[in-house]
Chains A and B, each alone.
Chain A
Amino acid sequence: MSAADGRGAPDPGSIAVGDPITPLVVDVTATRIVAGAIATRDFMPAHHDRDFAQAQGAPDIFMNILSDTAYCSRFLTDWAGPEAMVTRLAIRLGVPVFPGHTLTYRGEVTGVHRQDGTVTMEIGFRAAGEIGDHVTGTAELRLPAPGSSPPVNPPG
């Protein structure tokens, strides 16, 4: 089980620059690509129809960008836990990813700011597969500081 249930989540009081994000390994299958495309309501045939993808010059169907940002956010909050709020996610797209590939997400804390009961973290990360970096990116996450009561988001 990942840190998504709150166990093993980082202690906001001691998070520091250089802390590693718990790696995430994703075995990419056709089922996973199609499931992600449809769950994000992206019906472009290149993400579910191999014949269409090959007619466009690709070797197989490939993961859509909305799935990429989804896996990045899962990677970050699996580590940071359910109190974390993702306030920024910026990705740069590298090589495509096809069925049979394995993606490994790795990252580390690159900045920490503590203010007004909130710990704001900057994170740099990448998802690498067999043929190179699929995604590189940066993100900002916010956690409540120990003992603080941050404003509810979204406001109720």
Chain B
Amino acid sequence: MPDREPSLEEQLAALVGQPVGSRPVSVAPDPVNVPMIRHWAAAFEDANPIYTDEAVAGGTRFGGLVAPPLMLQTWTMPTPVITGIAERGGSPVEVEGEAPLSLLDRAGYTATLATNSEFEIDRYLRPGDVVTAATVFESISEEKETRMGRGRFVTWVTTYTDQDGGVVGRQRFRILKFRPSGAAS
């Protein structure tokens, strides 16, 4: 039956392994740098000297300044276009084309709740490193009953690499796309 419309399950299965965003990879607009690290450390009042104190950092196993490991995701965040940000529903950048997950919105799973963020860190970044992030869908669950309503868990995995192509870390991020309570199923 080559002409029939693929089922929702088939369309969701086809997303696994595909890029989540409109671009297959995101390259950090700036190399890992001390000013952004200092800004981050001040915002969270994180006094770990390996981030901002060259003399102390040099005497540790790290041998010099390193970026906070959980800053990994920050380096490749898109540079925002401030004008129009609220009108775009909070999206910091113009969205090109239709997002792959609009498939779930059209199927009635219109609400979104972030549930998990999981990092594996292979190595700490140093100033000068240039980070690239590649994010693909890892899995989309069957419909499940949750305390929010009926929904599907969507997991994507981001692989972060450096300027030499070496993997520096991975992040799994999971959201629940669900039918708002009261909505017909």
A positions within 8 Å CB-CB of B: 1-2, 4-6, 32, 35-36, 38-46, 49, 52, 65-74, 77-78, 82-83, 85-93, 144, 150, 152-156
B61 touches A154 (CB 8 A): no
> Dominant SS at the B interface?
loop
Residues of the B chain whose Cβ atoms lie less than 8 Å from the Cβ of A77: 46, 48
B48 touches A82 (CB 8 A): yes
Tell me which of B60, B70, B74 contacts A72 (CB under 8 A). Answer: B70
Residues of the A chain whose Cβ atoms lie less than 8 Å from the Cβ of B116: 90-93
B47 touches A4 (CB 8 A): yes
Tell me, in angstroms, the Cα distance from A100 to B73 when the chains sit together: 27
Q: How many A-B residue pairs have CB under 8 A?
A: 140
CB distance from A18 to the nearest CB of B (A): 24
Classify chain B: how many residues form its interface, as a range.
35 or more
21 residue pairs of the A-B complex, CB under 8 angstroms, read A38-B43, A40-B74, A41-B77, A45-B85, A65-B114, A65-B117, A69-B117, A70-B40, A70-B43, A70-B68, A73-B46, A73-B70, A85-B61, A85-B124, A87-B121, A88-B119, A88-B121, A89-B69, A89-B70, A89-B119, A90-B119
* Interfacial residues of chain B within 60-112, with CB under 8 A of chain A in the complex: 60-64, 66, 68-71, 73-74, 77-80, 82, 85-86, 90, 92
Q: Which 8 pairs from chain A and chain B are nearest by CB?
A: A39-B43, A41-B77, A90-B118, A43-B80, A35-B43, A4-B47, A73-B70, A74-B46
> Dominant SS at the A interface?
mixed
